[in-house]
Structure 1
Amino acid sequence: MQPADVKTLEDAKAIVEDRHATQVKVGAFDIDGVLRGKYMSRGKFLSALEHGFGFCDVVFGWDSNDQLYDNIEFTGWHTAYPDAWARIVPDSCREIPSEGNTLFFLCEFTGRTESICPRGLLRRVLKRAESLGFKVFAGCEFEFFMFQETPQSVREKNYRELKTITPGFFGYSVLRNSVMGEFYNDFMTYCQDLDMAMEGFHTETGPGVLEAALDVDEALRAADKAALFKTFTKVYAERRGMMATFMAKWSPDYPGQSGHIHLSLQKPDGSSAFYDEGDTPHHLSETMRHFIGGQQALMPEFLAMIACTVNSYTRLVPGAWAPTAASWGIENRTCALRAIPGPPKSQRVEYRISAADINPYIALAASLASGLWGIENHIEPDSPIEGNAYEMTFAPERQLPATLTEAAARLRHSKVARDNFGDAFVEHYAATREWEEREFRKAITDWEMQRYFEII
């Protein structure tokens, strides 16, 4: 039996037993999109398949640096960090090539914790889509920088003067991917073996920056692939003496790193809900138009779910190859939303505000829920932008929050967010983002030292 054949609990048992596996690796994604997990013995895993298992809920009580939040209600010293219940997702079975094809399974949280579980959040939004008669397809593409560094060397260098795997600006370079052909081909095979295959892989503009477009799939599987891609790209690199970063922007000298989301809806008969066979401009259906309208209207309220780190906002500035307002256009890469016309199977919306630092489950939930809200409420978008959106002035309601704290406040006070994601998620998530910026404000930056140390 192969991992792709595993669909049910019984299949998961069978593959473990057939392979005489002595241990299995399991993991679940936290609020920041960090994969938290462990090895389980064969016996423990088989028991967990049947009954679920306890997973310390501190993974929702600390940040990406394992520092405990002091501003959340869900868990903390006041609850004594009890176990949260989790279930194993049988059809997420994979082999980890770098660990002798050790079996790996994703998990998701159940019971009370399901209300704040990122994968559970997306499942709830997808259930709404299904109730409206839509099947959702998605694909993520990530830009990431690769360095000839290790976790030890970057710390020793204090993250300065880092050596990238290639020098210079050389986007779409056949020279680079031919010289490094073994790396490209080996990495693409590695990703395919982990069921997170790429449909495209190339150099981007900047030293050592690569872009990977993951295969389109049904939305939940697409989010699984995107989240796993970020983790296992880092695994692949570090096992080979390199490092990958998915920060939104790691250097002021280079463009930021995008994490664009492509979305399309399919009707029950399998046809595109976004494509109009008639004479409408670019064959945009009313459904697609309203979907874009909802995304545009709610982008400022939902931004914290997309631009989720302090660093995200260094990318959302003029001239940084990233949108600065809730704008849309036809095949316009200067807009936050790019409508991509084409044959029925290809017609889609690209959500371009997102960077590589997204939690794919949360970002996909936000971008999809806002579009579904637009369909339900017949929200018309503005006229599509023609030309350079970076140079245009937008109405106040189209302006995006400028900081993570501001974005978290917008989310916290959004009735639509609470209706779509639940009070528990909105309260918990907004608090974690407020904590994140508060932690940042404790830091003394190089800019401050250079500007104030001597002169002020």
Structure 2
Amino acid sequence: MTSMTIADLTAKIKSGEVDTVVVAMTDMQGRLTGKRIHGTFFLDEVLKHGTEGCNYLLAVDVDMNTVDGYEMSSWERGYSDFALVPDMDTLRMIDWQEGAALVLADVQWLDHTDVVASPRQILRKQVKALKDAGMEAMCGTELEFVVYKDTYEEAWNKGYKNLIPVNQYNVDYSILGGSRIEPLLRRIRLSMAKAGMTVESVKGECNFGQHEIAFKYSDALSNCDNHVIYKNGAKEIASQDGYALTFMAKPNEKEGNSSHIHLSFRGLDGSMVMADDSDKEQGLSDLGRQFIAGQIAHMREMSLLFAPNINSYKRYVPGSFAPTAIRWGRDNRTCALRLVGKGASLRLENRVAGGDVNPYLAVSGIIAAGLDGIKNKMVLEPAFTGNAYASDSQRVPSSMNESLALWEGSAWVKETFGAEVQAHYANMAKIEIAAYGKAITDWELVRNFERF
């Protein structure tokens, strides 16, 4: 939750400090879509009744093209509206847009039933299932990004070739390297703090021009809300300052952009149900072990939630700090699942997701898998030690085709998320695979233009 109330918003609109309220939902790709509403109209009408948007917002490809195969939205169904219902717990100022506040919306049909394929509704369902089991999820996401000195328009006109990274060597943990771009990073940090997020730190990363800003954990829903607002805001701020910033999973052949997800379950009373100090080796309770076992059991079939694009799978390279082996280990970055902390700080880090992830979907998957592990008292394999890249472990799917087949063929996915959600996101993958199959890439031109 944020600290801005309806009374605060009303006063700011009446004083002229706020003249615009951004009402936004999160689409399948994890992007904010919606409307900018005039402040007084928001108070007079939208606050009471919500607003509407075309239901194709959850049934288009990344280029906003209408595509076939979605049950909920099509030409045959007339591309009707659905309702964007503001969740006023998400209300906040966004100082990078003059005179603007922002509120996230849940998506409902006009008869007030949920649009079940909406990412925020998918997460709400899993949060409720966890609450019914007497627990809540605490979550933190770590997003990496690469910054270029080119503007977005310049990058587009250059075909995304020969872009100039803000650092031209590895600046992982480098104070000097971070200082080269500190004015931009500082502005992003301060703006997100004003938008209600608790900023922890910023550090350089391995790829040229790559950095990461970290925020404090919170409950699963609010953390995913913060994730999408931060991601959108960081790009808007970068654009205003003349930079291009990308969260693309694998923008070049160097290290990709990750979105490590730290998550743990707690009792509704705040109790550390996953931790047990009597376990001297790992500090895990039986429930904590079952939680991790659930992740391992379901990782492959829910990998589409962590790797939603063709490009996502190019990040999984041995020795790149992106995982290939589905194993868990204590503070072992070669594993897909890394156990860190102890007692109150004990949590599992999922290293599979990239910077292109939709956080609502990924966190939904982690909660669902953990809950299934607990319900079925799954037995956890021993912690892996050593280099998991070189092990004979089961692997993270290496392509979107493989992920799609696992997702679409999973009875557990159908039971957990529902047939409609399973079919909806299978179709999203099919659309992307078909589009990629028709594209003529630079790689093909270089290999084939003259030689054949």
1:294–1:370 CA contact under 8 A, matched in 2: yes
Pair 1:333-2:330 in alignment? no
Pair 1:152-2:187 in alignment? no
| Aligned AA (2:410) | S
Query: What is residue 410 of structure 1 aligned with on the other side?
Result: 406
**Displacement of 1:385:** 1.0
Query: What is residue 422 of structure 1 aligned with on the other side?
Result: 418
Give the TM-score of the pair, scaled to structure 2: 0.94
**Displacement of 1:103:** 1.3
**Displacement of 1:214:** 1.8
Query: What is residue 36 of structure 1 aligned with on the other side?
Result: 33
Query: What is residue 395 of structure 2 aligned with on the other side?
Result: 399
Query: What is residue 385 of structure 2 aligned with on the other side?
Result: 386
| Aligned AA (1:243) | A
Map 1:266-281 onto structure 2 (within 5 A).
266-281=266-281
**Displacement of 1:21:** 4.4
Pair 1:361-2:377 in alignment? no
| Aligned AA (2:358) | N
1:93–1:103 CA contact under 8 A, matched in 2: yes
Query: Any idea what SS the aligned residue of 1:152 has?
Result: helix
Pair 1:170-2:167 in alignment? no
When structure 1 is superposed on structure 2, of 417-426 and 330-339 the one drifting more is 417-426
Query: Any idea what SS the aligned residue of 2:211 has?
Result: strand
2:122–2:364 CA contact under 8 A, matched in 1: yes
| CA offsets 1:264-293 (integer angstroms, 9 cap, x no match) | 111133221111031352211111111110
Distance 1:157 1:181 in 2: 26
| CA offsets 1:375-395 (integer angstroms, 9 cap, x no match) | 11111232211010001112x
Query: What is residue 219 of structure 2 aligned with on the other side?
Result: 218
| Aligned AA (1:136) | A
Distance 1:128 1:280 in 2: 31
Distance 1:185 1:373 in 2: 41
Query: What is residue 434 of structure 2 aligned with on the other side?
Result: 438
Identity of aligned residues (%): 32
Query: Any idea what SS the aligned residue of 1:99 has?
Result: coil
1:62–1:69 CA contact under 8 A, matched in 2: yes
Pair 1:448-2:449 in alignment? no
Distance 1:199 1:89 in 2: 26
1:330–1:341 CA contact under 8 A, matched in 2: no
Q: Give the gaps of 5 or more residues in structure 2.
A: none
Query: Any idea what SS the aligned residue of 2:414 has?
Result: helix
Q: Give the gaps of 5 or more residues in structure 1.
A: none
**Displacement of 1:442:** 1.1
2:26–2:119 CA contact under 8 A, matched in 1: yes
**Displacement of 1:12:** 5.7
1:54–1:85 CA contact under 8 A, matched in 2: yes
Distance 2:189 2:151 in 1: 22
Distance 2:331 2:69 in 1: 42
Distance 2:431 2:25 in 1: 22
| Aligned AA (2:222) | R
2:337–2:351 CA contact under 8 A, matched in 1: yes
| Aligned AA (2:323) | P
| Aligned AA (1:388) | N
1:34–1:64 CA contact under 8 A, matched in 2: no
Distance 1:74 1:183 in 2: 41
**Displacement of 1:14:** 6.2
Query: What is residue 136 of structure 1 aligned with on the other side?
Result: 137
Pair 1:97-2:95 in alignment? yes
**Displacement of 1:13:** 5.3
Distance 2:69 2:210 in 1: 37
When structure 1 is superposed on structure 2, of 411-420 and 370-379 the one drifting more is 411-420
Query: What is residue 23 of structure 1 aligned with on the other side?
Result: 20
Distance 1:11 1:206 in 2: 42
Give the TM-score of the pair, scaled to structure 1: 0.94
Query: Any idea what SS the aligned residue of 2:3 has?
Result: helix
Query: What is residue 244 of structure 1 aligned with on the other side?
Result: 245
Q: CA RMSD in A?
A: 1.9
Change (3 A) 1:22 1:321: closer
Distance 1:169 1:340 in 2: 25
Query: Any idea what SS the aligned residue of 1:282 has?
Result: coil
Change (3 A) 1:421 1:19: farther
**Displacement of 1:414:** 1.4
| Aligned AA (1:103) | A
Change (3 A) 1:183 1:108: same
**Displacement of 1:86:** 2.0
When structure 1 is superposed on structure 2, of 267-276 and 12-21 the one drifting more is 12-21
Change (3 A) 1:120 1:10: farther
Query: What is residue 62 of structure 1 aligned with on the other side?
Result: 60
Query: What is residue 73 of structure 2 aligned with on the other side?
Result: 75
Change (3 A) 1:142 1:250: same
Change (3 A) 1:207 1:87: same
When structure 1 is superposed on structure 2, of 95-104 and 429-438 the one drifting more is 95-104
Map 1:201-350 onto structure 2 (within 5 A).
201-252=202-253, 254-342=254-342, 344-350=343-349
| Aligned AA (2:209) | G
Query: Any idea what SS the aligned residue of 2:366 has?
Result: helix
Kindly tell me the number of residue pairs found equivalent between the two proteins.
Answer: 448
| Aligned AA (1:177) | G
| Aligned AA (2:218) | D
Query: Any idea what SS the aligned residue of 1:40 has?
Result: strand
Query: Any idea what SS the aligned residue of 1:28 has?
Result: strand
